[in-house]
Structure 1
């Protein structure tokens, strides 16, 4: 007996595929095992088993929006195909409750010889809509797809973008109980992507269940309440979208590092820290470093070649604080120590409650050269900025990297999540409904 509140239940799901070195081996496996058995010969293996999913179990409630994340080849698409019923599991069970619309790949379910109009009617029929219901929705589908007269042309003549426009329009306008989207939105242009996100939010508010697969972690954070993290066909984590996506980002960054090294836990003596760019000097005690290191131990990762020894945020009065007024000017201070000779970018990210980066301070943003450090050297890196943010709670993430390609990629030497958790108070002139206030100006002229 399943709960009336369930939309999807996956229980002990396993999926295996046979992998062959050549097409001949596939044919051999059909006939030769029986023949060898009759002749009393030893069994010969003509294929290898690949387990795409391994004992996957979870439940999704009606009205939930859940993200599915993981690197390429982790089993995301296989899982979605089984949930949709286009692929059968090897073992295990999947139960769905409600009408499903799925956008798994470009043009899935479309006949390339049919026109766009014919495919609209066929697609709606596959989703369980009657001809009358499709007639009522047809104009909305055509308007949403926005492909002009191509709606009357065979879809084999469509571009990939036109394919996904029409496919998404059919699925979203059909108003399904369960909507499944697998990376297809990345094909459309920015206007269409924005339209799709708005449509998904409306579907979400209408109470539909959404299963959303994307490599865009910010999109997953914005849209979803929970997330499922797959790795090599296994559910590595399932829970709140913030916790799961942060674990995924952390894992991906560590995999990018050519060599991982454990942090050097050697005790530090009192350090005299200098900022060679702006002439600032300050003392930071070994006890402060020790307390900081202990506090952030569970939230940091990287090679440890260059590390943050201590970090805080200074208010306008010059005091370390965790509470600031709207648009207050602050200083982010990071004391840096080198365990190796390195040229690094020292960055600071301010994130909202969902760990979406609101703003970033980095060497590249201010056109500053990399910080060149010799082993044993220490510096104070200080960024000055204002906080024109919406009232709420924010966190500071320190991020030191050894750039491989300038402004694009690098080896993570030290990342610390939640270095500082701080509040920004409400704007005195009144609350605003956005993450950042940019002090716009308005002129009104009578025409």
Structure 2
């Protein structure tokens, strides 16, 4: 393997044998190749890529896509079933919360235990211990058993040890999702410093905004196979589109190719920059209503007309919705947003904005755009788009079609170094002034 390559995989795969009953495992050991009593499950198959020395490489995918299996093979805790794997350099990995810690030992004892596992001598650990303690910032808990730690304290200590050993390759698997925002920022500053020092970083996270901003290239895995390997924005866009497409309705058959409508260049261009696209031809795709209208694609753009799923507090986002109607009726478009606690924090659109609905002939498509200022606290938010019709009461309607929950949209702010525009969940339009008592109206 070339010196400038840190990790190389060639047709890598991992297969597990699944037995229906415990007795089948015994039968298999007796009869061996003469008869098969198990089912094969390939957690990972035919995965090939190179990671350059000093590169920051991301891996994304839904739960069960094979991300953790791949990382464990790279770290050497799992052996591949097929393919080749080469690693050039000392690995430091944070794969599972509390992995490698003895819960009966104190934090200090676990620091020395983990440092020894990572190849440090007692003298080297003595030298690094003050920095580890300072970075973890858990106070007197360092002398208490780890079983008394909160999850946040545990990841603080684990991360502090991993980054203190001067690794050639640092692997992080979702561990930074635990802990408060200030410690997460502290970890990111440390990881950026390691990147500048030439450390190869392999980063796995469901926070797509963080992956996009931190990683140069990204691997997207689905059902254990490579779906996309490329620049971060490209891989993330592919993941969003594929993992949020609705499944065809039971018994539904796609129309023959000759019957499908051929979208024009503008529609194709819209879909290429969308965060979600409905599968199938518009007139045959499944919806949630009675077929009067269908949402075809949704995009999210920033003020520079670039596809994005990230914004700083106070920045504007534009959500565009491409939809097609099949009845000469009025259809309102609504955008619904939820926070990480599944609370609806916003629901509004063409109706609440008092917009006049365009009259479209059956088969016509149009685009609705809503511009919103992100005056909400930093965090991750999902959103959905709905088509509906008003009935009865002014604020009641019937749903005609809807997307699945999309995103997440990441709202960020550097709370440590910049004055926040507000504190709390929302920024309410407000103004203030100082005045003399005599000047009061």
Return the TM-score normalized by structure 1. 0.66
What is the CA distance between 1:56 and its match in structure 2? 1.3
1:247-298 deviations in Å (ceiling 9; x for gaps): 001111114786899799659xxxxxxxxxxxxxxxxxxxxx9552354354
Q: CA RMSD in A?
A: 4.8
Change (3 A) 1:128 1:386: closer
Tell me which residue corresponds to 1:407.
Answer: none
Residue in structure 1 matching 2:229, options 230, 235, 238: 238
TM-aligned CA distance change 1:136 to 1:346, over 3 Å: same
Hey, what does 2:18 align to over in structure 1?
19
The correspondence for 1:339, drawn from 309, 326, 340, is 326
Per-residue deviation, residues 179-212 of structure 1 (Å, max 9, x unmatched)? 0011122222322222222221121122111101
Q: Which residue of the partner structure matches residue 340 of structure 2?
A: none
Pair 1:134–1:365, CA change in 2 (3 A):
farther
Question: Which is worse superposed, 332-341 or 5-14?
Answer: 332-341
Q: Residue 79 of structure 2: SS of its match in structure 1? A: coil
**Displacement of 1:127 after TM fit?**
1.4
d(CA) in 2 for partners of 1:345, 1:228:
34
Alpha-carbon distance change, 33 to 189 in structure 1, aligned in 2, over 3 angstroms: same
* Alignment length (residue pairs): 360
Q: Residue by residue, what CA displacement relative to the aligned partner does 1:114-138 show, whole Å, maximum 9, x if unpaired?
A: 2111110111111122222211211
Q: Which residue of structure 2 aligns with residue 109 of structure 1?
A: 100
Could you give the per-residue CA deviations for residues 323-362 of structure 1, whole angstroms, max 9, x where no partner exists? 9xxx99999997864236896645699xxxxxxxxxxxx8
**Cross-structure match for 2:123:** 132
C-alpha distance in structure 1 between counterparts of 2:107 and 2:298, whole Å: 60
Structure 1 CA distance, aligned partners of 2:155 and 2:325?
Answer: 49
User: Is the alpha carbon distance of 1:257 and 1:93 closer, same or farther for their aligned partners in structure 2, counting shifts above 3 Å?
Assistant: same
1:61-81: CA deviations, max 9, x gaps?
011011111111111111100
* 60 and 384 in structure 1: CA distance in 2 versus 1, 3 angstrom threshold: closer
> Are 1:306 and 2:303 an aligned pair?
no
Quote the Cα distance in structure 1 between the aligned partners of 2:90 and 2:238.
32
Structure 1 counterpart of 2:201, from 180, 190, 210: 210
Secondary structure at 1:239's aligned position in 2?
strand
Does 2:219 match 1:228? yes
Q: Any unmatched runs of 5+ in structure 1?
A: 38-42, 268-288, 316-320, 350-361, 388-397, 404-409, 416-432
- In structure 2, do the counterparts of structure 1 residues 298 and 242 end up closer, same or farther at CA, with 3 Å as the change threshold? closer
- Contact kept, 8 Å, 2:333 with 2:350, in 1: the verdict is no
Q: Tell me, yes or no, if structure 1 residue 93 matches structure 2 residue 77.
A: no
Once residues 329 and 131 of structure 1 are traced to their aligned partners in structure 2, the CA distance between those partners, rounded to angstroms, is: 53
Aligned to 2:311: none
Q: Partner of 2:244: helix, strand, or coil?
A: helix
SS in 2 for 1:77: helix
Residues 63, 209 of structure 1: 8 Å contact kept: yes
1:198 corresponds in structure 2 to 189
CA drift of 1:374 comes to 9.5
Partner residue of 1:273? Answer: none
Preserved CA contact (<8 Å) 1:293 1:309: no
Question: What TM-score, normalized by structure 2, do the two folds share?
Answer: 0.67
Q: What is the deviation of 1:226?
A: 0.2
Match of 1:368 in 2: 352
Q: Does 1:68 align with 2:29?
A: no
> Per the alignment, in what secondary structure is the counterpart of residue 188 of structure 1?
coil
Rate the CA distance shift 1:386–1:370 in 2: closer, same or farther, 3 A: closer
Cα-to-partner distance string for 1:144-198 (whole Å, 9 max, x where unaligned): 2222222112222322222212111100122211000111222223222222222
Alpha-carbon distance in 2 for matches of 1:18, 1:256: 29
* CA displacement, residues 34-84 of structure 1 (integer Å, 9 cap, x when unaligned): 6xx9xxxxx543221111111211100011011111111111111100100
CA distance in 1, matches of 2:155, 2:372: 42
C-alpha deviation, 1:381, in angstroms: 4.4
**1:150-299 → structure 2 map (5 Å cutoff):** 150-255=141-246, 266=261, 290=264, 292-296=266-270, 298-299=272-273
Question: How many angstroms apart in 1 are the aligned matches of 2:352 and 2:54?
Answer: 48
1:309 and 1:17 map into 2 onto residues whose CA distance is 38
Number of the residue aligned with 2:31: 33
